[in-house]
Copies of this chain bind each other. A is one copy, B any other.
């Protein structure tokens, strides 16, 4: 079980920012080749789940890590507050529609986990319902993996309360970040401890596909960890370019 307070939100002190950035660039090139291979082979699907508090750097991670990949094989879906139509269905209904087909990388910017996070913090979901959902989530992820070769990678962007405050203030002060400003973010940041507790429940009960807790106070380290995790996961698939269906000279 994770206790978030015991995990650092910062890069290990001995690391050299410049060196890590160089390594990230190399990994991104490798990721580009691996994504091409994933698309060509079309045997596996990859689902990347990005969760984290407001201003933990989800959008930035998507821009940096996935921004250089071929968009034909990469899709992003941001999950916002559900519509009336979505609320009339089970909570996985809108999620399942966006799971990746074979050959594709799908990024979820927020996800089905919001239904056991924000809803619990705001008392829209009681403990019993939360546990039904934990169970449903585990079965759902297991089904994607076992019946459609879906590799699921779940990242929690672990930012400190202090760093979050700095970033939320930037949204007020920097004109290029005004579009991200939302009065509600400040209200939500007051619920910091409750969010932490609910995240810890998620890590405890929905860990069949393990979570990667990414120290996210420094963007360069966050990007390095995500890219490295992706490269390693894709390499482990042992993919091959398909050969011709039959020899052309036959």
Contacts and interface: CB of A to CB of B under 8 A. Distances in A.
A21 interface: no
Contacts of A104: 88
A89 B100 CA distance: 7
B90 A93 contact: no
Contact of A90 (B85, B88, B99, B136): B99
Contact of A96 (B92, B101, B102, B132): B92
A92 B97 CA distance: 10
A97 B96 CA distance: 8
A100 to B, nearest CB: 8
A76 interface: no
Interface stretch (A139-147, A156-164, A225-233, A237-245): A139-147
A101 B99 CA distance: 20
Contacts of A91: 147
Given A96-B96, A97-B97, A90 B147 contact: yes
A62 interface: no
Interface of A: 42, 45, 85, 88-93, 96-97, 99-104, 129, 132-133, 136, 139-140, 142-144, 146-148, 150
